[in-house]
Amino acid sequence: MEEKYFEISAENLKRFVDSVISGGFEVIAPVNKDGDVFYGKIEKFDDANLDILLPKMSYKEYLLPKTETLFEYSFSGMDTAIKDGIEAVAGENQKRVIFGGRPCDAAAGPIMEKVFNWDYKDEFFNERFKNLTIVSIACEKPDNYCFCAEMQLSPESSYGSDILLKKSGAQYFAVVTSEKGLNLINPYINLFKETTKAQVPADKDWKKLFEIEKAKSFLDKNFEHNYFQDRFLSCIGCGVCTYTCPTCHCFDIQDEGNLKEGRRIRNWDSCQFGIFTLHTSGHNPRVTQGDRYRQRLMHKFKIYSEKFDKYLCVGCGRCSRNCPEDIDIKEIAKDLAGMA
Amino acid sequence: MENIYLPKLAEIKEIIQETADTKTIRLTIDGGSIDFLPGQFGEFSFIGEGESTFGFSSSPLRKEYFEFSFRTSGRATSGINGLNQGDKIAFRGPYGNYFDTSKMKGKDLVFVGGGIGMAPVKSIMEYCLDERDDYGKITILYGARSVGDLLYKNIFDEWKKYKNTDVVITVDPGGETPGWAGKVGFVPTILEQLPLKGENSIAVVCGPPIMIKFALKSLEEKMGFDKGDIITTLENRMKCGLGKCGRCNVGSVYVCKDGPVFTAKELESLPNDF
Amino acid sequence: MANTKTDEKLQKIAKELLESGEANLFIGYTKGSNPQRMRPVFITKPEEAEKLSFSRHAVQDLAVFLKKQEVKKFGKIGIAVKGCDEKAVNTLIQEYQISRDDIKIIGMQCNGVIKQNLADKGETEVSEYTVYDKCLICREHTPVLYDFLIETEEPELSLSGNVKPYAEIEKLESMSAEEKNAFWAQEFDKCIKCYACRQACPLCYCSRCIVEKNMPQWIDTNSEETGNAQWNLIRAYHLSGRCIGCGECERACPVNIPLMLINEKMAKDVYNLFGYKSGLDINAKPVFGVFSESDFNDFIK
């Protein structure tokens, strides 16, 4: 779809969001919780905290739940009955709006979508993604952990957003990029005033601290480099980087139940765990935490990009902010680029 | 809407107790085999105990069944181990790439297997034996730690019946029984004693990493095999088999999609992450 | 920022230990990714000792690294620890995970560290409102065991009593069983099973954690009601009578589960029932490793 542009006052934006909620959408937005800000369901616009940069966790769980039932099973005599889990997800057809997230989080959706569809199609992901409408707000002040510009996005990127809001004085400009976005505003179109691209403030020239292509070219040639073992001696393998990451999507498949019935589920998993690659024979290709963090860097900056022509990182900086041992991925990517 | 994680149920036609802790299970779906190619693998499970990844060990040309061999070592394999003839096994697949038989046609073939690593070798080897006239001389070298650890003992003689086919069975030193008629020695050592040459030949090698390492060395350095003519399989830990779950990455390769079959030349270009 | 006197003392000691070979590796703090953050640093060369620093932002419990295989292979290790963290070193010695002979303890006297989420917002002042609850109840501002002590330049923490540390524990104690269940069900619902609590804990050193054992499957793998509750309960049980209260599990938790409420309640109960406090004496027998005739036994009915 060709992008459409609208103006909307702050007051009307509130009316719009409240109307979307009363119109039956579940709206997820940054909310104050437990002394921090997390994404959570809002009942009204005022529940949302739009003053912060980013919630502590991403909203990945709305695309890839932390536990998802792939199918249910039951035994009766010699027979096994299987109930397909996709039916529940498809039947749910829950229309959700993510409101007030940032361009980095929005970019994570289409980036993950490639993995879930490059060959076999994962309809669990697709169903959830299809029902998600993303209304993001462009960042005005990224912090020192942000590096979306380096990751070929920007604090004002509309990639992955159905609607990108850009604040300008007391009002917002809305860049509508998709049918989904248009469908969301259409019932309330009187709150919006259509305008032209020329009226929307141009994106700023966001400075880059390093070239990610250089970091990649270092990774291409230096798998065995000492840097990884030395630098990640301070990594405790807690996996917080992967669990709070909007694009980390690795999962485990497990069966759970009793002698009568149960289910096969997939759970979030992490390349930072020793058991992740442990073979039955006892052999483990990744023995040290250096090996494991290297894999995370490889997957983000090399492996994914070679298959899908983008990077598996949106530069949100959550892994750095949340790392208990202060491992800063931006600093590391800059190191890698510098060593290339 | 297709659920790619949903298994089919296959019936156990036959169970062969190969060694104290390994079995071969022959399965049928609707009374016959499924379409697969040698080298491919599947996700097998006794539902409730979780899935395990195994390569097919039968020739796809044998249409009455498809089979896999496994060692009981964890929860999922213990579940499968407890099943009987007539029981159901949940199955997803076939997945992954396969041995390129078009490149093997008309050439001399060497099949080298170690321990339970013989399973995927058996699939391609029996496929070639099933169309024996398409290939030159076939040499089969199979070894295990001890006589008790050899799988497929009951069909060694069957392999020997094919024309122009040498079958060499060996056990590691100390693993022989009184009266053992086969060889005694590590697989790479015995390999070097065989009258093989690299020209117009293809070698398929599967087994423990240490055996592969030395067998590859022997084939390349002592017998003049080209790296592109030595084929092996990687046995990475997998979960989905579909190129999603991220577990089997080696460099930019998903072993479950781009593998598990690789030439020695391809392996050389991968980082040491397997 | 320039070196403080504390930094200089620390650097000198580390340098000498590395030069003399009394330590092959020195684990300490260095400046982090923002002025209000410190991070662990691993020094093997004497000339690199100048990277070492210490401040009110040194939140990490460096004892966690003593359980790491990559660190253990260095053999003799020097480590900078605050009083709270030092209790973890004691417990590791007490439980035969490390040998007292292989470790040089540099005790960092400390009057409280600033909560990281406040520090990240720019907080630089130490006060009863800005430090962790553990600092408010701390009795080991000077570590109980050390080879070298570095005295603090920080003013003593003044406590008005307005902030009640671990206040929720009393509330929880007054709740009915149903209310307690509801409280924890809500908290555990947030859990995403990342096991950061385990990894950040200096005393969670099992080479294969119970959640990684599946024959039988003790702990449900799901990250829903059953799996989350089982995990959080078993984690707490495995730490009861052992937890030294460094609070690293709670700090690492990306979804803010108040794990220290559980740990502190356990520690309180263990003290009340057995008169035992963990991490204070390397020669003491672990409380659940011994039986005494005076142990309470009225739970046997």
User: Per-residue pLDDT tens for B16-29?
Assistant: 999 999 999 999 99
Strands A132-137, A163-168: pairing kind: parallel
Enumerate residues 293 to 312 of chain A having a beta carbon within 8 A of any beta carbon in chain C. none
Question: How far apart are the CA of B197 and the nearest CA of chain C, in angstroms?
Answer: 45
| Residue C85 predicted with pLDDT over 90 | yes
> Could B78 and C217 be called an inter-chain contact, meaning their C-beta atoms sit closer than 8 Å?
no
Phi/psi class of residue B184: alpha, beta or left (left: φ > 0; alpha: ψ in -120 to 50)?
beta
**Option in A70, A224, A281 nearest B5 (CB):** A70
Strands B138-144, B108-114: pairing kind: parallel
Chain C residues in contact with B75 by the CB 8 A cut-off are 214-215, 217
Cα distance between residue C112 and residue C132, in whole Å = 7
Two tokens at C186? 């809500």
**A contact chains, 3+ CB pairs < 8 A:** B, C
| Residue A10 predicted with pLDDT over 80 | yes
Cα distance between residue B172 and residue B161, in whole Å = 25
Chain A residues in contact with C200 by the CB 8 A cut-off are 236, 238, 324
Question: How far apart are the CA of B272 and the nearest CA of chain A, in angstroms?
Answer: 8
Q: How much is the ipTM here?
A: 0.94
Q: What is the pLDDT of residue C1?
A: 57
pTM: 0.94
| Residue B148 predicted with pLDDT over 80 | yes
Query: Whole-angstrom distance between the N-terminal and C-terminal Cα of chain B?
Result: 35
Please tell me which residue of chain A has the smallest CA distance to C212: A275
Do A130 and A136 meet the contact criterion of CB atoms below 8 Å apart?
Answer: no
Residue B75 near chain C (CB below 8 Å): yes
Cα distance between residue B168 and residue B177, in whole Å = 16
Which residues are CB-contacts of B181 (< 8 A; sequence separation ≥ 6)?
none
Question: How far apart are the CA of B162 and the nearest CA of chain C, in angstroms?
Answer: 44
The count of CB pairs under 8 A between chains B and C is: 7
Instruction: Work out the percent of chain A whose per-residue pLDDT is above 90.
Output: 93
The count of CB pairs under 8 A between chains A and B is: 128
Please tell me which residue of chain B has the smallest CA distance to A225: B271
Domain residue limits, chain C: 7-150, 167-289
Strands A171-176, A163-168: pairing kind: antiparallel
Cα distance between residue A155 and residue A161, in whole Å = 12
**Mean pLDDT computed over C108-132:** 95
Cα distance between residue C259 and residue C249, in whole Å = 7
**C contact chains, 3+ CB pairs < 8 A:** A, B
Cα distance between residue A132 and residue A114, in whole Å = 16
**Mean pLDDT computed over B109-136:** 96
- Rg over CA atoms, chain C: 20
Domain residue limits, chain B: 8-95, 101-233
Q: Is A76 exposed, middle or buried (0-12, 13-18, 19+ CB in 10 A)?
A: exposed
Chain B residues in contact with C217 by the CB 8 A cut-off are 75
Question: How far apart are the CA of B49 and the nearest CA of chain C, in angstroms?
Answer: 9
Mean pLDDT of chain B: 94
Q: What is the pLDDT of residues A268-297, one digit of tens each?
A: 999 999 999 998 888 899 999 999 999 999
Question: How far apart are the CA of B73 and the nearest CA of chain C, in angstroms?
Answer: 10
Question: How far apart are the CA of C178 and the nearest CA of chain B, in angstroms?
Answer: 32
**Mean pLDDT computed over B4-24:** 96
Q: What is the pLDDT of residues A215-250, one digit of tens each?
A: 999 999 999 999 999 999 999 999 999 999 999 999
Q: What is the pLDDT of residue A40?
A: 97
> Could B74 and C217 be called an inter-chain contact, meaning their C-beta atoms sit closer than 8 Å?
no
CA distance readout (Å), C185 to B249, C211, C225: 37, 20, 7
Cα distance between residue A162 and residue A181, in whole Å = 5
**Mean pLDDT computed over C91-98:** 96
Residue B78 near chain C (CB below 8 Å): yes
Chain A residues in contact with C248 by the CB 8 A cut-off are 324
Q: What is the pLDDT of residue C127?
A: 94
Chain B residues in contact with C214 by the CB 8 A cut-off are 50, 74-75
Question: How far apart are the CA of B250 and the nearest CA of chain C, in angstroms?
Answer: 23
Cα distance between residue A287 and residue A275, in whole Å = 10
Q: What is the pLDDT of residue B162?
A: 95
Q: What is the pLDDT of residues B226-270, one digit of tens each?
A: 999 999 999 889 999 999 999 998 988 899 999 999 999 999 999
Count of CB atoms within 10 A of residue B222's CB? 13
> Could A326 and C227 be called an inter-chain contact, meaning their C-beta atoms sit closer than 8 Å?
no
Q: How many residues does chain A have?
A: 340
Which residues are CB-contacts of C63 (< 8 A; sequence separation ≥ 6)?
C79, C81, C85, C86, C88, C89, C92, C202, C246
Chain B residues in contact with A84 by the CB 8 A cut-off are 3, 6
Enumerate residues 191 to 210 of chain A having a beta carbon within 8 A of any beta carbon in chain C. none
Cα distance between residue B193 and residue B176, in whole Å = 19
Residue C162 near chain B (CB below 8 Å): no
Helix (H) or strand (E) holding C228: helix C225-239
Cα distance between residue A2 and residue B207, in whole Å = 56
Q: Does domain B8-95 have CATH number 2.40.30.10?
A: yes
Strands B253-254, C25-31: pairing kind: unpaired
Site from B2, B4, B84, B145 to mutate, A interface, most A CB atoms within 10 angstroms: B4
Chain B residues in contact with A271 by the CB 8 A cut-off are 246
**B contact chains, 3+ CB pairs < 8 A:** A, C
Chain C residues in contact with B74 by the CB 8 A cut-off are 214-215
Please tell me which residue of chain C has the smallest CA distance to A264: C222
Two tokens at B181? 């008629």
Residue C208 near chain B (CB below 8 Å): no
CATH class of B101-233: alpha beta
**Mean pLDDT computed over C82-91:** 98
> Could A298 and B50 be called an inter-chain contact, meaning their C-beta atoms sit closer than 8 Å?
no
Q: What is the pLDDT of residue A281?
A: 83
Please tell me which residue of chain A has the smallest CA distance to B72: A280
Chain A residues in contact with C192 by the CB 8 A cut-off are 57, 66, 243, 268
**Quick check: helix, strand or coil at residue B267?**
helix
Chain A residues in contact with C251 by the CB 8 A cut-off are 324
| Residue C301 predicted with pLDDT over 80 | no
Residue B7 near chain A (CB below 8 Å): yes
Two tokens at C234? 């078993």
| Residue A72 predicted with pLDDT over 90 | yes
> Could A277 and B209 be called an inter-chain contact, meaning their C-beta atoms sit closer than 8 Å?
no
Q: What is the pLDDT of residue C183?
A: 96
Please tell me which residue of chain C has the smallest CA distance to A239: C194
